[in-house]
Amino acid sequence: MPSFKEAAILAIRKYPEVFSALEEYERTRKLPKFSYRKRMDITIDEHILKKFKEHCREKGLNMSRVIENHIKEELHKA
């Protein structure tokens, strides 16, 4: 089992944004956002959108997350 120091160094390397946020909190007493999301305006077929909304509602899915995951899959193909 790694020591606390070794575990901390590994965590800093793996998640540097967390430690940057803690530094920012120490300075300002406010935590910055970790997840920056952007609104996107797209045009798709209205029938597909209607079916997709129904599908997500029936399955309890978040439409944005489903689309985001498909975009990630597409990027990994490239």
Q: Which of 10, 15, 12 is nearest to 1 (CA)?
A: 10
* pLDDT, averaged across the chain: 89
Domains within the chain, CATH numbers bracketed: 1-36 (no CATH), 39-78 (1.10.1220)
For the chain, the maximum distance between any two Cα atoms, rounded to a whole number of angstroms, is: 57
Segment 33-69, tens digit of pLDDT: 766 778 899 999 999 999 999 999 999 999 999 999 9
Reported as a single tens digit per residue, the pLDDT across 2-17 is 788 888 888 888 888 8
Q: What is this structure's pTM? A: 0.55
Which residue's entry shows tokens 């590994």?
Answer: 10
